[in-house]
Structure 1
């Protein structure tokens, strides 16, 4: 168990040492059915852990060179290791977006930060745009001195042109949803090199948060993972809540 006073600040500092940031949190309300915390009892609070821009990348690379090259999903493994260490220090249970059965990370994130999905499914952040991600969460047995954010203006509501729906050569994103198989086939195909090396064209077309846009090597890493095994958690977190 952690002492409430200063605990959230301490967690934020521990995460920041690895380029990760707290992405808000909330206390579960009576009557909800949250997952268990560090004990077998239902958790009372959750803190979301993620990134803004590519800040964790140098930390991940330093870790990566010391690991076996056969790790299937190295960024997931690094995230779990870092977040689990923080959880152990502060008496929490660490969980990941790729855990099964899937936890409602998208719903938690919208509740914690007051965000809404973009047409691409990625939550639109007023500062980071689409260039952010959630790497895990910390579940606590006790309530914390935190309050969920109030919803603010949704940048996508004021975007008339919607360039994020017009740049993909196979129209993978549309108001009807994400054409997953079309996207995957294109990225793997002979014409998919621009996406493999430069990232999702629709995502890059968004004019919001460009100061936090991932460097090309980071985007290429995520697209290579997608082309290899079809996992697009970085871009399609909303699919985890279906």
Structure 2
């Protein structure tokens, strides 16, 4: 029996999807499998992400536009990858898409996600400057990836700069307050409207920090969600 080959990742790395993890579906927890709507013949889940600035650089160079150029570019890249490198295999992209996928759960299983005070993942290489970009199920038979070992760098951080740098005091009591963060971001001329000062203060992986355009893009999207949430909250009593 021939030895299973690793995922051919060169195309993905070059395109900016430079984090990959292959899971055998049979080895995933039942709770995770229940969310995936697995179909006949699918044997593996491929988690794709990016670390650092390369993905955004490729998106800008490609001219990808639209409401969510990151998702659009990621989908286009995966389709090209399968067409060129894996034309004999069937696949489905579950995320981005309508499926509710536990990305942080998959990230923890891969060893990518370590807890941080900001309630976002952090690791010793990329800090918080990485993200999950796609979940693909396929009929492939690659060698499953080894879990990335390590621990969160946060517990050993003395006088954490993320806590000290948060003007909303959303971390003062040791637990992240989404309410305090959100309301501060909604204030006129808030310095956190399109970026997180606490996140940017973290020294871990700071050399991989996104450029300002990517930061503004990502935080503008989350700010729009916050505005919609509080608009609905104000309107609700009037609708009763």
Question: Which residue of structure 2 aligns with residue 177 of structure 1?
Answer: 176
RMSD between superposed Cα atoms in Å: 2.8
Residue 30 (structure 1) shift: 7.3
Inter-partner Cα distance in structure 2 for 1:15 and 1:170: 38
Match of residue 218, structure 1, among 198, 214, 228: 214
The answer to whether the 8 A contact 1:53-1:213 is kept is yes
The answer to whether the 8 A contact 1:87-1:94 is kept is no
Match of residue 189, structure 1, among 187, 190, 199: 187
Inter-partner Cα distance in structure 2 for 1:23 and 1:81: 17
The answer to whether the 8 A contact 2:19-2:51 is kept is no
Match of residue 83, structure 1, among 52, 75, 78: 78
Higher-RCO chain (CA-CA 8 Å, sequence separation at least 6)? 1
State which structure, 1 or 2, has the greater radius of gyration over its C-alpha atoms.
2
The answer to whether the 8 A contact 2:22-2:44 is kept is yes
Unaligned runs of 5+ in 2: 228-240
Query: TM (normalized to structure 1)?
Result: 0.76
Question: Which residue of structure 2 aligns with residue 202 of structure 1?
Answer: 198
Question: Which residue of structure 2 aligns with residue 139 of structure 1?
Answer: 137
Once the two structures are superposed, what CA deviation does each residue of 1:144-192 show, in whole Å capped at 9, x if it has no partner? Answer: 212331531321121132222232211234633341x443333232131
Question: Which residue of structure 2 aligns with residue 240 of structure 1?
Answer: none
Inter-partner Cα distance in structure 2 for 1:43 and 1:205: 42
Evaluate the alpha carbon distance shift between residue 63 and residue 160 of structure 1 in structure 2; reply closer, same or farther with a 3 A threshold: same
The answer to whether the 8 A contact 2:114-2:151 is kept is no
